[in-house]
Structure 1
Amino acid sequence: MPFDLTGYLARIDHDPLPVSPEGLTALQIAQLRVIPFENSEPLLGRVPDLAPSAIWRKLVVEKRGGYCLELNTLLGQALEVLGYQATPILGRVRMGAASGGPRAHLAHIVTLDGTEWLVDAGFGGPGPEAPLMLGWEAPAEQGCGTYRLRPDAATGEQVLERQTPDGWFALYGFDRVPVTAPRRRSGQRGLRHMGQVAFPEPPHDASLAFRRTGEPLRSRAEAAGGHARVAEQGGPLGRSYRSLWPAG
């Protein structure tokens, strides 16, 4: 189906945007502030449908949230229709670890007048609200925190880090391996197996999380004092879940 730019802009409550660094920043912030990260379907053991029509129906028509492969697929379609040169990437989530797990986090590199920007409206943790310039290692202060992109010689990745009171905290690393449909499907499967690679519990499956820019990352677990019981139609799942993400 053709991408409905008018419908998308209505969903993120924004006017048409110029193709410029300012327009790119406004686009990412607008989507982050309106369409939340939420992982209810992976948590319930469902595999979200990544077909563009299914993503459109869920995020735009039904006005729900989604996780990175859904949120940044939608953003990538908007970028293409608006005229941006956007290249998808698949990152390895680290969340403080020295290296990441499988390539399971979708984001984009946008090239504008020879300058590259990391554009990401789908990270389920304390990620940046605005694009970050690649090749510029100085920290970038934003309203939600201070970030930097650091080259990691050991893995060949660029690593997105956030400054914390205890030092720089690695969020995810990425390289330029081309993103194909099979790799997207592999990334989707990878979300369900992160815990076997680098984390004590799988971040997207084990913690029910909802977040929009301007809000700390919240989960039902946090609201319930550290644990939550999730009910599906037909009865409770009978499992409790703990929030893994620090507040933004």
Structure 2
Amino acid sequence: MLELQSSPIAEYIIHYLSRFSIDAPVGTLSFVQALQAQHIAMYSFSSINAMQGTYLSLEPEALFERLIALRQGGYCFEHNRVMFLALEALGYSVRPALARVMLSGKSDNPRTHRVTLLSYNDHTYVVDVGFGVKVPIMPIAIDHDHVTNEGPNQYRVECTDSHVKVSLLEPESLTLYEIDLAKVFEEDCEVGHFYSHQHPEAAFVNNLVVSRVDDGKRYLIRNTTFLCLDEREQTQSELEIRSVSQLQQLLQRHFNIVVTKECSNKVFAKVQVRQLAREG
């Protein structure tokens, strides 16, 4: 059994880590890389709970129950808090950080993306398990300018004293996010989390976004569209979601998420209302 540093949440973390099959020894970067990739493959990114209108606690008991035990999916403030707590308990030197998502091309977006910064062998890495379908599946060094590759994906890191910009170069050119290197407390993350799932105009409150990355395939639901990108074959398939039952089947088959009919009805209705409003 894993020996964790003394922690009131050790039981939750032991249960979480028992879900994975990792050969690399704890304390190595290889272990972190394997944990990151396996977490992303097992636990889906999802805005379903954020669309329900109820407060989502980040307290460990509620968080691990929702995300790990019930496998309801979650977004960055949930996934990356789980990863942070696990790595911290295993003795890694980690701290939370906040970033501006840059996918829209806007540079003045709020800092509403949580990541984990890992200090290892005199280098700093970003470890991210909560960035949806574009999430890198390995730690990326962020203490110097460089380009790094993971399979068909190529990333560029640009550093200043206060910020780090992480961009995707291949298979498409896209700025992912800009990490603020200032010290961050859990209370700062709570503010971003509250806005992201409680503000009436927040993206995840109004849009259905579900994704999972596993074995070279990236699965995505964006409102009423299902996409599957096969990175090895370099192919993409697309499907229009036309019913609640179809949505439930896709969630269970491709995202390992089982939601109630009531929850699915609410999400699907909300998406349709928003789409009609945009079209009108």
TM-score class normalised by the smaller sequence: 0.7 to 0.9
1:195-239 Cα offsets, whole Å, 9 max, x none, are 97xxxxx54233322222233241152135277778745964633
Aligned 8 A contact 2:96 2:115 in 1: yes
Gaps of 5+ in 1: 197-201, 244-248
Aligned 8 A contact 1:192 1:204 in 2: yes
Larger Rg: 2
1:44-101 Cα offsets, whole Å, 9 max, x none, are 2233111111111112221332111111111111101111000110111111414142
Quote the residue 1:205 is aligned against.
Answer: 205
CA RMSD, aligned part only?
A: 3.0
Is 1:2 the equivalent of 2:5?
no
- TM-score, normalised to structure 1, is 0.81
Residue in structure 2 matching 1:162, options 158, 163, 168: 168
Give distance in 1, aligned partners of 2:204 and 2:243: 15
Quote the residue 1:57 is aligned against.
Answer: 65
Map 1:2-21; keep pairs closer than 5 Å.
2-4=9-11, 5-14=13-22, 17-21=25-29
- TM-score, normalised to structure 2, is 0.73
Give distance in 2, aligned partners of 1:3 and 1:70: 17
1:76–1:35: structure 2 CA closer, same or farther, 3 Å change rule? same
Give distance in 2, aligned partners of 1:144 and 1:70: 28
- Secondary structure of residue in 2 paired with 1:187: helix
Residue in structure 2 matching 1:191, options 196, 206, 220: 196
Aligned 8 A contact 2:46 2:211 in 1: yes
1:193–1:40: structure 2 CA closer, same or farther, 3 Å change rule? closer
Question: 2:224 corresponds to which letter in structure 1?
Answer: A
Is 1:172 the equivalent of 2:187?
no
Deviation at 1:184, TM superposition (A): 1.4
Is 1:221 the equivalent of 2:224?
yes
Quote the residue 2:258 is aligned against.
Answer: none
Instruction: Choose 68-77 or 95-104, whichever is displaced more.
Output: 95-104
Point out the structure with the larger helix share. 2
Give distance in 1, aligned partners of 2:14 and 2:24: 8
Identity of aligned residues (%): 23
Is 1:91 the equivalent of 2:89?
no
Give distance in 1, aligned partners of 2:209 and 2:166: 21
